[in-house]
Structure 1
Amino acid sequence: MNVLVYNGAGTSPESVKHTIETLRLLLEPYYAVSPVSARVLETEPWTSKTSVVVFPGGADLPYVRDCKKVIPKIKDFVSRDGGVYIGLCAGAYFGSARCEFAQGNPSYEVTGPRDLKMFPGIARGPAFSGFEYNKELGAKTVRLRVNGIEGLEEAYSYYNGGSLFVDAAKYPDVEVLAEYQDPVDVPYSDDPNSTSPAAAAVVLSTVGKGKALLIGTHPEIPAKALKPIGEKWYDEKVIQLLEQHDTSRFLFMKEVLRKAGLKCNSTRSNPGNPDLTPIFVTTKENNKALQLFKENLRSTSSNHNRSDYKFHLIGDSDEFDVYEGFSYADEASSKLQDVHPAEAVKQIIFPGIEDTLPKKPLVSHFDTEKYFAHLNPANDLGSVLLYGDVVTSTSMIFDQNRSLSAALPENSAIHVGTIQLLGRGRGGNTWVNPRGVLASTTAINLPAVSATTGERTPIVFVQYLAMLAYCKAIRTYAPGYEDLPVKIKWPNDLYALKPQYYYNNGIKLLGKEFVNGLIPLDDVDPAFVKVSGLLVTTNFVSGKYSLLLGCGVNVTNEAPTTSLATWVNILNTERDSLGMPHLPPIEHETLLAKYLNELGILLKKFLTSGPSRILPEYYSFWMHSDQIVQLLDHNSVRAKLVGITEDYGLLIAKELIPGSNSHFTGNVYHLQPDGNTFDIFKGLISKKA
């Protein structure tokens, strides 16, 4: 399920950044944490796939202005659907029934009712004086008394301009999770008979079926994050005190999330991300493509003396040290220790004359020998492997450093990482990819015009080919794998049947080959979850298309959805009951090689014959044959999906006569894969703004 963090007008970039990082650290792999705009919250059908909506720190008034149309949707999401609202600082003001900020100060005062009303009372602040916009003059590390959390009585948190919650204890559906221990500078009670000893800093409200967690401080921000944003007026004691109590801050953040009903992982401290590791460049044999790659890099470097074992390359976004010889691995690794991934000089190591393939301990989580053993030697794709145990992003290192990508040999290179610290998805979203996800980016080059047909290359189809190749690689991985319940969601996502749906409905899969029709089209909402996504980056260089195919597949990583390995285990249980031999385990190296083998075949067919030979295979694996949808941009008419156009790869939808599922009006709509939002769970297609 999704955790959506609002990132729009009024938000503080620092708060958004650290809210996302901390939630990912605590909640992954059980939830997918992503930034989201007001427009998306307003127009996209997100509620059925989301557990939490988070409004971080910033300024409350822009939230009120830009999210006016979203508020009813959020209220229904919480009270009716059982979702969770989290408001941090400005998000807490926004989520209360009334905001009272800096009353009496004509420069800063913001006072008035708020429509969300997740907390039924007043959010009043700043709780401590001295606040100034875009400065740290009023910043503090505050001490909190913690209530109702076993083993944690006190916590410390960064604070800057946040609220207290007036008379919070008097509301029957509100639990006060923490109180300020330091004396506050605004009244925390308007009740003359109140006996509350302190001001509420964190509250948890029950709102219908859902919960709302409102936090007046910033427990998402660690001490180490304050140093880069510190200015000359910054009180160093704020950082020092937070550093001393960072463990309590981190545990408090985790426990209040649990109180709100979220499932947290086992992380007990804030370790930060692991250090990057060197990227090893290798091939089964020291072939011409690898040598070409190395010489291309050397020719663009700042010191390209052929006799040097190392040279330096300055890219558009990164710098690189390039070595020749695996014996330099320790030297390269030492340069990556305790360095922020974005600031690190990336280390690339080519094999030396005596080197073969890198093995443990040089690479700990990928068997290069097994990978090359399954890669078709007649297929150039993937024949030059760039592998790192911990990398920034398999796609961004190519896409954001043109001198590096331009040096790649054509249709040969693939970059693989076991852990991605800055994994990238559509919309610019980034995240940490954990172990268990097979993350790779394949670099390919295609002609603008097919040499065989003389027709232009409809490049939009590459996204279809790539996901089709992965689907075929999975279903043909070994005898019996054809029963794995995976399908393509248009245009380029891979979905699998939910294990719970399988158990609840008593489904048996052996021998079914999971063909279209096994799951009713009207039942896709509870039936399927995403296990893979594809990001295609395209450039046109010297008359050719240069493409990066970035893909991540949940091979053994079961959360936040499911994994391919889970389904292998389920099918093996079925096979046990029939006395059949087990399916072999699915391995990253073998699956990746088979994917590249399939992709190479499909690309050759595509270039020689166009989309016509590919589409029937794509249809056999997609989940939309004869699906009925609504077209929101066309008065919500009902239409049936019948295929994809062969010129521009557009989705074809035929309008149905009202009340019929089989008779058409004659109107046909063509929909763009990148210009529309397609929600298979709601059957809606709408044009993006």
Structure 2
Amino acid sequence: MNVLVYTGPGTARGPVDNTLLTLKSLLSAHYDVIPVDADTLLKEPWQDTAACLVIPGGRDLPYVEHLEPQGTSVVNDYVRGGGRFLGICAGAYFACRRVEFEVGREGYEVVGKRDLGFWPGTGKGSIAEGFVYGTEQGAKAVGVRVDTKVLAGWAGPEDLPLYVNGGPWFALDTDVKPEDQPNVLAWYTDSLESKTSKPAIVECAIEKGRAILSGPHIEYRIDTSKHSDPDVQRILEPLSASESLRVQLVRKLLERLGLKLNEEQHVGLVVEDILRPKLSVMHLCSDGGGRRSVEELLDGLCEEKVGHAVEVEDSVNVLRFQRSNMGDEAVVDDLASMNIADHDDAKSDVKPTVNIIVHSPPSLPSPQQVPKFDLAYYFSVLARAREDKRRHGASEGFGSSILYGKVVGSTQTLLERNLKLASKLPNGFVCVATHQIAGRGRGRNSWISQIGCLMFSFALEHSDARSVIFVQYLVGLAIVEAVRSRPGCEDLPVHLKWPNDIYARTGEGPEGLKKIGGILVSSHFSGGAFRMVIGCGLNVTNPHPTVSLDDVIRSHARRSSRTIAPIRREEVLGRFMVCFEDMYKEFVDAGRIESRYAYAFEPFLERYYSAWLHSNQLVTLGSLGHALGRITGIDKSGLLRAVVIEGEDGVTVGQECLLQPDGNSFDMMRGLITRKL
């Protein structure tokens, strides 16, 4: 599940950076905190996987320009359907029925209605005088009093200062019934002695959903070493002294939104990892069958034999290879301690170094060196799965060479954008990470892998242009069949959502479907073939915030009164690599001109339809004026087929609509297919 932070037009860098940092520090064990732009909110089916949408500080008017009315309609539907919303400063103004900002002040006044209307009244500001756009000149440390009767479990002092720079207070409309009035979670302290008490942080129930709006910048992390601006220096002392209270307050607010938090003692470590992430040493390993391909890869990349460290400057990274002799852990430990590269945007002109230890089979890194991924177990699963497939003629190549790192930037970027490396990769070469700090997903999505998620990318060279579109479908089917190949998992409720997502059924209806994985395929044409890097992410054992593959297996075992062994990431990867290679060989054979099949994917159609969620599904076709259609399958060009069964004037009943996988978004919860613009 994702926590989405809006970063579109109008947002300011300071609020965005602090929002991302604070939310990651408090939520990263359970959610991917992802920046999104206006196009994402308008055009992507983000609602299914969003635990919360956050609109941070900046300027309210550009939010209106780029999100009203279509975007606010989407956000409204999301929240009213059970979603969560957090608006801070400008994001809070934007979520009120009406805005009154700097009324009467030339060049600053903003007055008008707003579409969201989560707060049934007016956002009025600035609460503190002297606001100046784009500066900290009007910033204040403003006293706020927590309402302990409403914010249950508050353990700190009632009063604390918070950073305010143009933020609102919240005036309630007079027509709001007492039973419909939102909760006030905190008040501006100075206003409590006046005739009009001014709410600082409010909580609004919106049908099934909930919204919290804050006038103060609750997200601002105060680091005294970072600020030289005299306008900030004058307010640092009180804010710094109350930093722990600010964090406690944000934790309580996120709990009110129903979000699961990181353990409190780990927050400081998470902040350090976010601010100064380190890239781990990576380990290049192979089984007996992969030894030759690894040596050919190194010979093709390196001008000299790899023994002591050899560096290759590639497009994105400097790749530094060094061999490890069996039992010679001191060499590896020394390299790990000396040459871990900072992943630092401030040094964007310097290519990060990726340190790679090369292990010749049967040598593998020790469990102390790679405690988060059992390479010996992975290779044993690979061997057993090949033995099971041997009757089908598995060629024992895919998955035989593996590059593993505990912390990497992105497995997809490493294999795809380092062009020297990409040109030499053998088919089935796989890169695996426990954590990614810059993961990539389909469209504008992102993968920032959580504990228990299997994140990997592998190389594939494919020469047939007619069938290349089907590769993503084949990968999805291979994931499902690999999981179902486990004893007791033959009828596990794991399914495919077109075009490339993995879902588990945990209950009835659309609400009972939970996304547990996704697929990303990148390719370029070179030397008469498509050089592809296929990225996969699958939640194997992390139960938060919704469901993992292991949860599905345990639930399935209870229902069927069977004992099924817990699943591990290494097992999933090993089974998948063998399953995909076996299917890919059949796929290539079926695509040959002399084949008895009309096209390469034809022999897989029945299996694909048994795994996907869409047979005869009714959908709304956005490209045909929201006509009602029925999905009928995949055509021989790899396009989704739907037949119109009901439409407005100009749309013919019975008309077939063909939809490209990379040109359309499928919002399964609403049964809506829309064309990407």
Whether the TM-score (by the shorter chain) exceeds 0.5 is yes
Q: Give the TM bin, normalised by the shorter chain.
A: 0.7 to 0.9
**Which residues of 2 match residues 493-512 of structure 1 at below 5 A?**
493-498=501-506, 501=507
Deviation string, structure 1 residues 55-113 (Cα, Å, up to 9, x no partner): 211101111222221334544554x4344332111111212233233334323332334
1:686 counterpart residue number: 674
Q: Is the counterpart of residue 565 in structure 1 residue 550 in structure 2?
A: yes
Contact 1:164 1:216 in 2 (8 A): yes
1:516 counterpart residue number: none
1:441 counterpart residue number: 457
Contact 1:457 1:607 in 2 (8 A): no
Q: 1:458 pairs with 443, 467, 474, which one?
A: 467
Considering only aligned residues, what root-mean-square deviation do their CA atoms show, in Å?
3.4
Deviation string, structure 1 residues 334-354 (Cα, Å, up to 9, x no partner): 246794465684442233679
CA drift of 1:264 comes to 3.2
Deviation string, structure 1 residues 470-494 (Cα, Å, up to 9, x no partner): 11100112x2210211111111111
1:71 counterpart residue number: 72
Q: Which moved more, 1:650-659 or 1:418-427?
A: 650-659
1:120 counterpart residue number: 120
Residues 496 and 116 of structure 1, relative CA distance in 2, 3 Å threshold? closer
State the distance in 1 between where 2:187 and 2:302 align.
Answer: 60
Q: Is the counterpart of residue 644 in structure 1 residue 600 in structure 2?
A: no
Q: Is the counterpart of residue 654 in structure 1 residue 643 in structure 2?
A: yes
Contact 1:446 1:545 in 2 (8 A): yes
Q: Is the counterpart of residue 282 in structure 1 residue 267 in structure 2?
A: no
State the distance in 1 between where 2:444 and 2:38 align.
Answer: 16
Q: Is the counterpart of residue 471 in structure 1 residue 472 in structure 2?
A: no
CA drift of 1:570 comes to 1.9
CA drift of 1:51 comes to 4.8
Name stretches of at least 5 consecutive residues in structure 1 with no aligned partner.
300-304, 450-455, 502-522
State the distance in 2 between where 1:175 and 1:467 align.
Answer: 46
User: What SS is found at the alignment partner of 2:58?
Assistant: coil
Contact 2:615 2:633 in 1 (8 A): yes
1:358 counterpart residue number: 365
Residues 534 and 110 of structure 1, relative CA distance in 2, 3 Å threshold? same
CA drift of 1:252 comes to 1.4
Code of the residue aligned with 2:669 in structure 1: it is: F
State the distance in 1 between where 2:471 and 2:449 align.
Answer: 24
1:514 counterpart residue number: none
Q: Is the counterpart of residue 589 in structure 1 residue 588 in structure 2?
A: no
Number of residue equivalences: 631
State the distance in 2 between where 1:94 and 1:592 align.
Answer: 45
1:623 counterpart residue number: 613
State the distance in 2 between where 1:239 and 1:315 align.
Answer: 44
State the distance in 2 between where 1:650 and 1:665 align.
Answer: 20
Code of the residue aligned with 1:279 in structure 2: it is: M
User: What SS is found at the alignment partner of 2:490?
Assistant: helix
Q: Is the counterpart of residue 204 in structure 1 residue 203 in structure 2?
A: yes
CA drift of 1:329 comes to 2.7
**Which residues of 2 match residues 144-543 of structure 1 at below 5 A?**
144-148=144-148, 149=151, 150-153=154-157, 154-155=159-160, 157-166=162-171, 173-180=181-188, 193-194=195-196, 196=197, 199-223=198-222, 227=226, 235-236=232-233, 242=239, 244-268=241-265, 269-271=267-269, 272=271, 273=273, 275-285=278-288, 287-299=291-303, 306=305, 309-325=308-324, 327-335=330-338, 339-340=342-343, 345-351=352-358, 356-376=363-383, 378-406=395-423, 408-447=424-463, 449=464, 456-477=465-486, 479-498=487-506, 501=507, 524-543=509-528
Question: What is the TM-score when the length of structure 1 is the normalising length?
Answer: 0.82
**Which residues of 2 match residues 68-107 of structure 1 at below 5 A?**
68-69=68-69, 70-75=71-76, 77-78=78-79, 80-107=80-107
Contact 2:286 2:359 in 1 (8 A): no
2:659 counterpart residue number: 671
Residues 594 and 36 of structure 1, relative CA distance in 2, 3 Å threshold? same
Residues 235 and 5 of structure 1, relative CA distance in 2, 3 Å threshold? closer
Contact 1:155 1:252 in 2 (8 A): no
State the distance in 1 between where 2:502 and 2:491 align.
Answer: 15
Q: Is the counterpart of residue 634 in structure 1 residue 624 in structure 2?
A: yes
User: What SS is found at the alignment partner of 1:291?
Assistant: helix
State the distance in 2 between where 1:225 and 1:643 align.
Answer: 60
State the distance in 2 between where 1:403 and 1:242 align.
Answer: 50
Residues 319 and 160 of structure 1, relative CA distance in 2, 3 Å threshold? farther
1:506 counterpart residue number: none
Deviation string, structure 1 residues 395-444 (Cα, Å, up to 9, x no partner): 122233323333x4321421101122222212233353111111111111
Code of the residue aligned with 2:297 in structure 1: it is: F
Residues 320 and 667 of structure 1, relative CA distance in 2, 3 Å threshold? same
Q: Is the counterpart of residue 54 in structure 1 residue 65 in structure 2?
A: no
State the distance in 2 between where 1:48 and 1:38 align.
Answer: 17
CA drift of 1:602 comes to 1.7
State the distance in 1 between where 2:628 and 2:113 align.
Answer: 41
Share of identical aligned residues, percent?
Answer: 34
Q: Which moved more, 1:637-646 or 1:463-472?
A: 637-646
Contact 2:281 2:357 in 1 (8 A): no
User: What SS is found at the alignment partner of 1:351?
Assistant: strand
Code of the residue aligned with 1:415 in structure 2: it is: C
Deviation string, structure 1 residues 264-302 (Cα, Å, up to 9, x no partner): 343453432364321111112471221222333433xxx
Contact 1:439 1:552 in 2 (8 A): yes
CA drift of 1:315 comes to 3.5
Q: Which moved more, 1:322-331 or 1:281-290?
A: 322-331
Deviation string, structure 1 residues 117-161 (Cα, Å, up to 9, x no partner): 323344333333443333333345555433324202254544433
Code of the residue aligned with 1:614 in structure 2: it is: F
Code of the residue aligned with 1:379 in structure 2: it is: E
CA drift of 1:466 comes to 0.7
User: What SS is found at the alignment partner of 2:311?
Assistant: strand
User: What SS is found at the alignment partner of 1:491?
Assistant: coil
CA drift of 1:367 comes to 1.0
1:606 counterpart residue number: 587
Deviation string, structure 1 residues 511-557 (Cα, Å, up to 9, x no partner): xxxxxxxxxxxx64133111110011111222221111111111111
Code of the residue aligned with 1:371 in structure 2: it is: Y
Contact 2:319 2:356 in 1 (8 A): no
Contact 1:524 1:681 in 2 (8 A): no
Deviation string, structure 1 residues 371-418 (Cα, Å, up to 9, x no partner): 112225732222211111222221122233323333x43214211011
User: What SS is found at the alignment partner of 1:604?
Assistant: helix
CA drift of 1:236 comes to 4.4
**Which residues of 2 match residues 4-43 of structure 1 at below 5 A?**
4-28=4-28, 33-42=33-42
Name stretches of at least 5 consecutive residues in structure 2 with no aligned partner.
387-394, 591-599
Deviation string, structure 1 residues 291-344 (Cα, Å, up to 9, x no partner): 222333433xxxxx6576113343333344333225433233324679446568
State the distance in 2 between where 1:240 and 1:446 align.
Answer: 61
User: What SS is found at the alignment partner of 1:482?
Assistant: coil
User: What SS is found at the alignment partner of 1:426?
Assistant: coil
